[in-house]
Structure 1
Amino acid sequence: MDCASCARSIEKAVTSVEGVISANVVFSTEKLRVSANTDVSDKIQAAVKGIGFSLASLDKSAFKQGSNQTNSAQTISNQSTTSWFSRQQLTEYGPIVGLALLMLLSWGITQFNPVLGETAFIVTTLVGLVPIMKKSWRMIRSGSPFAIETLMSVAAVGALFIGATAEAAMVLLLFMIGECLESFAANRARKGVSALMALLPEEALIIKKGERQKIAIADLRPGDEIEVSPGERLPADAELLSEMASFDESALTGESVPVERLRDEKVPAGSLLADRVVRLKVVSQPGNNAIDRILHLIEEAEERRAPLERFLDKFSRIYTPVIMLISVLVILIPPLAFAQPWDTWIYRGLALLLIGCPCALVISTPAAITSGLAAATRRGALIKGGLALEQLGRIKTIAFDKTGTLTEGKPSVTDVVTFNGSEINHSLAVAASVEMGSHHPLAKAIVDYAEQQGVTLAHADNRKTLAGVGVEGNFAGKKISISAPSKLERALDNRIQQQVTNLEEEGKTVVVVLEEGELIALIALRDKLRDDAKAALKDLADLGIHGVMLTGDNARAAAAIAAELNTDYRASLLPEDKVTAVIELNQQQATAMVGDGINDAPAMKASTIGIAMGSGTDVALETADAALTHNRLQGLAEMIRLSRATNANIRQNITIALGLKVVFLVTTLSGITGLWLAVLADSGATALVTANALRLLRNKPSNKNN
């Protein structure tokens, strides 16, 4: 497939097959997905072959890339084998070479006998027309009457009719060369996806009952123990069973420095082991590892098309018939109304016809978006579709969750202040008893600190969470409550409140511990800022993007952290308050929400675009429109620069596509350019816009505020 219109032609052909409910071609990964109630695979093969394409059969190797086949939905991967590729080369380049040789022979004959040479050029044109007309007929039958092959066939036959035989043959040769250039450019655009697929090895070394054996990675199941040697890539997501190892995860995260992983840490599929032989436990289902999820997002991205792309798609369906109508009028009106020579205006009308193909216009947006999405993936950012990529470039405000986003999400206890005769160890024991089992960062920090102090831990009874307030439970027969100072039913006395204020002004979060309603301790905790948080906010400010921190923390602690980051803040927010804040910001200007927790998901959904940290919860990652897989905040500025570069690239591509057509439209009607240059207005423009889009893969987006 050379462009997105080829993909749509296949979809049309397959959808017309009896028994098919729906068909979808994923251009970037070359897959055809068909939903049907019965097995119609043979009919699908025939339909696709009927319009000049071929499908590889679905075998076990396809499952390596996470493809599934069920009764209701079949996935057919258009993968090529080595032997097929050599035949493809012959099919692709053979007609071009043959036509060029015939043209050279015809030109040679013309030097000695012009009349015979003219006949030779007619034969050459007819030979070149055969495969093009066959494909045109197939496309017409499949419901695509305005394909470029149809326009070329009409133009070439018309050129023969008016005696422009040499030019007719040259037009066909240029068209074939242009098609090859398009194919080359399209394959280059898909190269990044192919490279991602190649990260998974064919086999894995599994250890069962102390014995090693190699199995296909499709046969791996969660819980299997595997062994990986230095220089090999992981066949699945896995937890490290060895003490420590270094992994190169650059292909997935863009992080060039190898990452040190410790026992029980999760390592994504496709990571390259750097230093020693290790054992790991598989944790991902077949077809659901890190690589598969990225591929799925890329495929999903094509379905979530940008508004401009959808508009151009609709526009192109009207554009070609309109150009054909204008071409007919150009041929008929001057000779009939103004007694102009028929040959001249038939020639100009045919040249105009060649400008009518919308290939360059149709591919201008998806080519840039596909390249932009691939470039983002290389930099450790997953963007779910052209719509999200386009919107990122329009963001003017970014709202940040604090814990786990601007901070590391690993707070530690800094102070324990006791009251009413309670000892520190007793206060820690009762606090940890009601916090045990909680996934909240503050709860984990209190439990960890109690363990470090050698406190014996026991679970509290009747433990329950009080939404937006804290937790409570029964320990040693007494009711224990932990909450924020501001959530207490009765205010603290002035002396204790001053202690709370002093701690909060140091940027610490304070919780109060009550035993039977009596205050026994204040516990202060402090979270550490991410190493790149300050640099990330500065990068965003340089791009003209305003940052706002949204946190459930108290105002004084939030103010201390916000001052350190030089950003605005809103504090003491419940999850619903964050949603309200984001909606308010969004009404003023396009706002993105960056978070990592379940409680951030509603706010992310309310924003123009939600961005999840790679270390976040599954809910946050599912809700988000984009994710930073490498967990680096500075990736936000990179994403936005890339989005702006992609939007600029789209504008350039549309200008090239339409600009060339307008230029050739004027020069053709003026008689300055002829048929063969009109071909360049289509094939040349298509190759140009694709090549322009590929620049996004090579170049780092500019730091300019563009």
Structure 2
Amino acid sequence: MSDTRSSKTTQASRPQASTTPVTLRVQGMDCSGCERKVEAALTRLSHVEEVSASSVTGSVRLTALPGKALSHSQIKSTLKALGYQVIDESVDTAESKKMTSWWQSPKGRLVIVSGALLALAWGLKFAWPALGSWPFIAATVVGLVPVIHRAWQALKVGNPFTIEMLMSIAALGALAINAAAEAAVVVFLFAVGELLEGVAAAQARRSISALSRLTPSTARLLERGEVREIAAASLQPGQRVQVRPGDRLPCDGQIIAGHSSIDESPVNGESVPRERGEGETVFAGTVNLDGVLEVEVTRSAENNTIARVIKLVEEAQAAKAPVARFIDRFAFYYMPAVVGVALLVAIVPPLVSSMLWSESIYRALALLLIACPCALVISTPAAIAAGLSVGARNGLLMKGGAVLEQLGKLKRVALDKTGTLTAGKPTVTDVESFNGISAGEIVRLAAALEQGSSHPLAMAISDYFHNEGFYPEGTQQTGVTLPAVRGGRALAGQGVAGQVEGRELMLVSPRYLQRSNSSANDWDVRIEALEQQGKSLALLLENDQPIGLIALRDEPREDAQKGLQALARLGVQAVMLSGDNARTVAAIGEQLGIEAEGELMPEDKAQRVRQWQAQGLGPVGKVGDGINDAPALAAAEVGIAMGSGTDVALETADAALLKNRVGGIAEMIALSRATMRNVKTNVALALGFKALFLVSTVLGYTGMWVAVMADTGATVLVTLNALYLLRYRFNDIG
């Protein structure tokens, strides 16, 4: 898909004497700590100049030193020693299609086994107290072995201060002072966290494959007047394809023959299908609605619109480094300091005073127990879990603590128009009649012409007829049917025609009148005024003379105005970015009182987000519901998908509004800020307890049993504080 990836040799053991960066797919690299370990290990290789690892995309990008060759066998062996595996392209393709359940993964099995052993240990403790701590020791060892292995491998490549090393020392220290139950709990919680990171990373990677499914697998190739099916991936510029009504376009191209309405919503979010004719450009993944088209391919499969969207999503996700885990950051300074202090407490007093070695070792072990990060391990995840639970109960889905933390920092939010600020489908806004014909009659005749059509405008007119009750006088709504159409026919890209009750009628776009000999000069001003409001028009003609018109537009959601006002109260600026035509976007933006920009392709939306970030206007959030929003959702600090959106938008985004309420954006931000206040309180409580009892333990005022109580008390306290967050109420935020 990318140039770097396609340059990778299939013979993993063959060195590459090139300075071109090479991208390798790596299995099991699921967190920022993993990234740092991989980068530290590979940077030490003599032939490597630069390394960039991404846990989001599961890839490592390497550049060789000038004149050197990348040895894939050495890279693979180095990664394998760390517990990771390089995946070949062919294997990766198969793996991406396999939906492995979390309990089938190594991390999942470890969580299940260690959790079962922990539960069994507690059961045995109450049933057979004589067994002592052995069940907890067994549970600790089972969960700790892989952690110690990873810590040792990281130590061998010069990276001793890892979260694995911190956990190993904490657990072993707890075992040494007979706190096996606490050791087992900490190891189990750590395993659960590792599993959740792996699941989230795998889901993010699978979202990329969902994008590729937009393009059909086959295409109808035109050669020497004959049509044959070939693989869409094999299409090359200059070839011609036939696209039937209802088919997705297999390529980016130019229409050579034919005229049709094209549903471009998968690419640009346009709410109303656009009419396309000879000489106009069409995009891969869009849907041909009503006419047969002959299209000349202008871009190869690896460079078409969908492929470029996929590449943008990959690059944005790789560039957006996940927020480092608090414990991992803190451990860089905390662990060596605590271990150093414990060693001093164990060794120095007997050498400079009459203190017994047994007493100094006792104090050192108590110090290690106090230093055990139990309360810290629980404090942040407990608050985050409570915040996520509150959000989920209210239809606010956030994919992890990093997202919840970042939401509260947002300064600007970019919103898509179609399906986000608007309902996502056109509705009738105006009906005007000519020559004294009633508005109801115009709607009735238009609905009759369009009956049976699945075109969005046709369905909107039909819905308007039935919902507004435009029925002939003397009839009841129940059981009334529209009159039959005789000689009904589609006017490719223009509208429909036929006889209704003996009247020769046509329902067409204003463009039809411009192309025909009929004159609509009397209505030019009115048509222009309605189109300036961003409305799509359908003109009803009888014997080629206009007798009325129907205007339609994708109108704002009922809660859009209130949701935008809630954002303003939180100090967050809202901007509309849309692929819809500029007039429609400007009209909706004016109606909502929001800055708006239209006619943007997916890469344009992502570029706007990056520009704001570069100008210091961020952090930036992006809200959308379509595949066209995927690159911008990935580029933003926080991507938010509407719950009715596509699977790709939901997978690419960091959060989702399951109730499709614009006000949910403000609710997410307010909940984030409340959660982070809770997190800061918890961290202060946990560190405060530790600081107090670290000093008292070093001075000998408190012993092991007090250390256990202090650590357990801090854990209980921060947990209760986190549970208080479950009572959070949104009031009237959104």
TM range (shorter): 0.5 to 0.7
Correspondence for 1:150 among 172, 187, 196? 172
Structure 1 residues 238-257: aligned runs within 5 Å: none
Residues 627, 180 of structure 1: CA spacing in aligned structure 2 closer, same or farther, 3 A cutoff? closer
Correspondence for 2:345 among 330, 335, 353? 330
Q: Output the amino acid matched with 1:34.
A: Q
Per-residue deviation at 1:639?
1.4
Is the 1:313–1:362 Cα contact (8 Å) retained in structure 2? no
Tell me which residue corresponds to 1:355: 370
| Cα distance in structure 2, aligned partners of 1:495 and 1:479 | 19
Correspondence for 1:91 among 121, 124, 134? 124
Correspondence for 2:537 among 503, 511, 521? 511
Per-residue deviation at 1:388?
2.5
Tell me which residue corresponds to 1:365: 380
Per-residue deviation at 1:411?
3.6
Residues 494, 694 of structure 1: CA spacing in aligned structure 2 closer, same or farther, 3 A cutoff? farther
The Cα offsets for residues 344-378 of structure 1, whole Å up to 9 and x where unpaired, read as 53332222121232222233333222222222110
Structure 1 residues 3-18: aligned runs within 5 Å: none
Per-residue deviation at 1:655?
2.4
Per-residue deviation at 1:567?
2.6
Tell me which residue corresponds to 1:612: 641
Tell me which residue corresponds to 2:116: 53
Correspondence for 2:720 among 682, 691, 697? 691
Is the 1:405–1:595 Cα contact (8 Å) retained in structure 2? yes
Is the 1:503–1:524 Cα contact (8 Å) retained in structure 2? yes
| Cα distance in structure 2, aligned partners of 1:649 and 1:142 | 33
Query: Per the alignment, in what secondary structure is the counterpart of residue 544 of structure 1?
Result: coil
Residues 443, 405 of structure 1: CA spacing in aligned structure 2 closer, same or farther, 3 A cutoff? farther
Q: Output the amino acid matched with 1:511.
A: L
Structure 1 residues 151-166: aligned runs within 5 Å: 151-155=173-177
Query: Per the alignment, in what secondary structure is the counterpart of residue 723 of structure 2?
Result: helix
Query: Mind listing any 5+ residue stretches in structure 2 that lack a counterpart?
Result: 1-33, 35-79, 88-100, 149-166, 193-319, 472-481, 499-503
Tell me which residue corresponds to 2:558: 531
Per-residue deviation at 1:91?
2.8
Per-residue deviation at 1:544?
0.8
Structure 1 residues 70-469: aligned runs within 5 Å: 90-94=123-127, 128-135=132-139, 138=142, 141=145, 143-144=147-148, 146=168, 148=170, 150-155=172-177, 307-308=322-323, 310-313=325-328, 315-316=330-331, 319-320=334-335, 323-337=338-352, 340-342=355-357, 344-416=359-431, 436-438=453-455, 440=456, 442=457, 444-446=459-461, 448-449=463-464, 454=482, 456=484, 460-461=489-490, 463=492
Query: Mind listing any 5+ residue stretches in structure 1 that lack a counterpart?
Result: 1-7, 9-14, 23-30, 56-84, 100-126, 157-171, 188-304, 464-470
- The yes-or-no answer on 1:653 pairing with 2:686 is no
Correspondence for 1:547 among 560, 564, 574? 574
| Cα distance in structure 1, aligned partners of 2:451 and 2:484 | 13
- The yes-or-no answer on 1:640 pairing with 2:672 is no
Residues 502, 462 of structure 1: CA spacing in aligned structure 2 closer, same or farther, 3 A cutoff? closer
Residues 606, 692 of structure 1: CA spacing in aligned structure 2 closer, same or farther, 3 A cutoff? same
Q: Output the amino acid matched with 2:394.
A: R
Is the 2:413–2:622 Cα contact (8 Å) retained in structure 1? yes
Per-residue deviation at 1:543?
0.8
Q: Output the amino acid matched with 2:557.
A: R
The Cα offsets for residues 455-476 of structure 1, whole Å up to 9 and x where unpaired, read as 656875584xxxxxxx447867
Per-residue deviation at 1:539?
1.4
Residues 340, 155 of structure 1: CA spacing in aligned structure 2 closer, same or farther, 3 A cutoff? same
Residues 601, 509 of structure 1: CA spacing in aligned structure 2 closer, same or farther, 3 A cutoff? farther
| Cα distance in structure 1, aligned partners of 2:634 and 2:445 | 38
Q: Output the amino acid matched with 1:638.
A: E
Is the 1:396–1:544 Cα contact (8 Å) retained in structure 2? yes
Residues 556, 663 of structure 1: CA spacing in aligned structure 2 closer, same or farther, 3 A cutoff? same
Residues 419, 306 of structure 1: CA spacing in aligned structure 2 closer, same or farther, 3 A cutoff? same
Tell me which residue corresponds to 1:33: 103
- The yes-or-no answer on 1:680 pairing with 2:709 is yes
Tell me the TM-score normalized by structure 1: 0.53
| Cα distance in structure 2, aligned partners of 1:414 and 1:432 | 19
Give the length in aligned residue pairs: 473
| Cα distance in structure 2, aligned partners of 1:598 and 1:462 | 30
Query: Per the alignment, in what secondary structure is the counterpart of residue 661 of structure 2?
Result: coil
User: What is the Cα-based RMSD across aligned positions, in Å?
Assistant: 5.5
Is the 1:182–1:687 Cα contact (8 Å) retained in structure 2? no
The Cα offsets for residues 434-482 of structure 1, whole Å up to 9 and x where unpaired, read as 99333x4x4532454578684656875584xxxxxxx447867999974
Residues 21, 695 of structure 1: CA spacing in aligned structure 2 closer, same or farther, 3 A cutoff? farther
| Cα distance in structure 1, aligned partners of 2:651 and 2:449 | 32
Is the 1:308–1:365 Cα contact (8 Å) retained in structure 2? no
Q: Output the amino acid matched with 1:91.
A: L
Per-residue deviation at 1:552?
5.3
Per-residue deviation at 1:637?
1.6
Deviates more, 1:519-528 or 1:664-673: 519-528
The Cα offsets for residues 640-687 of structure 1, whole Å up to 9 and x where unpaired, read as 111222222232233233332222222222333322222234333333
Is the 1:433–1:475 Cα contact (8 Å) retained in structure 2? no
The Cα offsets for residues 58-101 of structure 1, whole Å up to 9 and x where unpaired, read as xxxxxxxxxxxxxxxxxxxxxxxxxxx9x876435457xx59xx
Per-residue deviation at 1:433?
5.8
Q: Output the amino acid matched with 2:342.
A: S
| Cα distance in structure 1, aligned partners of 2:488 and 2:122 | 70
Is the 1:484–1:511 Cα contact (8 Å) retained in structure 2? no
| Cα distance in structure 1, aligned partners of 2:358 and 2:537 | 90
| Cα distance in structure 2, aligned partners of 1:700 and 1:178 | 36
Residues 427, 368 of structure 1: CA spacing in aligned structure 2 closer, same or farther, 3 A cutoff? same
Per-residue deviation at 1:576?
5.5
| Cα distance in structure 2, aligned partners of 1:177 and 1:426 | 73
Residues 523, 177 of structure 1: CA spacing in aligned structure 2 closer, same or farther, 3 A cutoff? same
Query: Per the alignment, in what secondary structure is the counterpart of residue 325 of structure 2?
Result: helix
Is the 2:121–2:139 Cα contact (8 Å) retained in structure 1? no
Q: Output the amino acid matched with 1:155.
A: I
Query: Per the alignment, in what secondary structure is the counterpart of residue 168 of structure 2?
Result: coil
| Cα distance in structure 1, aligned partners of 2:121 and 2:366 | 31
Query: Per the alignment, in what secondary structure is the counterpart of residue 571 of structure 2?
Result: coil
Q: Output the amino acid matched with 1:547.
A: A
Residues 392, 663 of structure 1: CA spacing in aligned structure 2 closer, same or farther, 3 A cutoff? same
Residues 154, 595 of structure 1: CA spacing in aligned structure 2 closer, same or farther, 3 A cutoff? closer
Per-residue deviation at 1:397?
1.8
Query: Per the alignment, in what secondary structure is the counterpart of residue 548 of structure 1?
Result: strand
Is the 2:663–2:733 Cα contact (8 Å) retained in structure 1? no
| Cα distance in structure 2, aligned partners of 1:555 and 1:538 | 24
* Identity %, equivalent residues: 41
The Cα offsets for residues 183-231 of structure 1, whole Å up to 9 and x where unpaired, read as 99x99xxxxxxxxxxxxxxxxxxxxxxxxxxxxxxxxxxxxxxxxxxxx
Q: Output the amino acid matched with 1:697.
A: L
Q: Output the amino acid matched with 2:103.
A: R
Tell me the TM-score normalized by structure 2: 0.52
The Cα offsets for residues 483-528 of structure 1, whole Å up to 9 and x where unpaired, read as 799x999xx99975532454367x561436699xx99675422455
